[in-house]
Amino acid sequence: MASTVSAGSLKIKIIEEVKLNGKDQGGVTNWNISNVNEIYKRIVTCPANNETTIARFRSSVGNVSGAVAYDSALDVQDVQYIRLTNLDNANAITLSLQIDVGEDDSGADLSTSIRVEAYQSFILGAPEDSIGADDDAAGLVTNLVDLDSLVVQPGGNAVDIEIFIASA
């Protein structure tokens, strides 16, 4: 049976408000993503001193040939917008971007990590052909591949994060 969900449009607005010497130095950025058919939104408690995988991306999803590795994965070709927000009021997290260098759904081959401070967000557009890393040189990486998954390490304190993903 075909889906009965009618496509919607995701409206995103980022507002920065700051005044320096009495002048507004902030900015507003707006953009829309059309043809949104699926939303994945959760608040997840990431236990202290443990890694928590909060989203997985695959080119094949569902239980492909009985392979559990594809269950609950989001279709890497359909995802258009990802936002992760650290809801903790004091503690930063380490967000690991797991990279599928071979783009073969076999799991992460490489990773890179960033710090997301308390109340801060990390935003990424489509995860397909969107990330690259080089562990032996500091040069610009232009051969971008697929994001495999997002993993949170909260350190010594349990931290709540919110994940919001929009897909076609």
What confidence score (pLDDT) does residue 134 get?
Answer: 82
35-167 under CATH 2.60.120.770, yes or no:
yes
Q: How far is CA 146 from the centre of its chain?
A: 12
What confidence score (pLDDT) does residue 152 get?
Answer: 98
Strand partners, 111: 98
Domain positions in the chain are 35-167
- Residue 155 to residue 35: CA distance in whole angstroms: 38
pLDDT tens for the chain, 168 residues long, are: 456 778 899 999 999 999 999 999 999 999 999 999 999 999 999 999 999 999 999 987 765 555 555 567 899 999 999 999 999 999 999 999 999 999 998 889 999 999 999 999 999 999 999 999 887 777 888 899 999 999 999 999 999 999 999 999
- Other beta carbons within 10 angstroms of residue 83's beta carbon come to 15
What confidence score (pLDDT) does residue 11 get?
Answer: 97
Phi and psi at 78, nearest 5°, equal: -95, -25
The type of residue at 153 is: Q
The whole model's pTM is what? Answer: 0.89
- Residue 96 to residue 107: CA distance in whole angstroms: 14
Phi and psi at 80, nearest 5°, equal: -120, -20
What confidence score (pLDDT) does residue 1 get?
Answer: 47
